[in-house]
Amino acid sequence: QVQLVESGGGLVQAGGSLRLSCAASRGTFSNYNCGWFRQAPGKEREFVAAIRWTGHTIYADSVKGRFTVSRGSDKSTVYLQMDTLTPEDTAVYSCAVGRAELSAIRNPDLYYDWGQGTQVTVSS
């Protein structure tokens, strides 16, 4: 198992930026995909972005061009840089690891280790 610890959430005004971190306390992301998901109150969990073990990145249409997912050089931390935030981005953000193929990488059911989540609140 790869235990994940998230950090970097908080309160920001619309148009601002935040960077979330997902650190692997055991192991690295060398052989895993890392996905970011979010869940707003009363809504279902939603795919945000992922970085495959190959380094290939994938984004939801709603965040494409505003969010960037990357991996540290030691492959033990994955980052989600969030720019031009809007109130619609308010949610609990969680990272997770899995080994799904690219066609299924948006499916949260195919991830098996999850972080505790971090709250992101964007004020208007």
Q: Is the pLDDT of residue 1 over 80?
A: no
For 83, list phi and psi in degrees, rounded to 5: -115, 165
Rounded Cα distance, 80 and 23, in Å: 12
Rounded Cα distance, 1 and 51, in Å: 18
As a whole number, mean pLDDT of residues 44-52 equals: 97
Q: Is the pLDDT of residue 72 over 80?
A: yes
pLDDT tens, residue by residue, 28-40:
888 899 999 999 9
User: Which residues are CB-neighbours of 73 under 8 A, at least 6 positions away?
Assistant: none
Rounded Cα distance, 53 and 85, in Å: 27
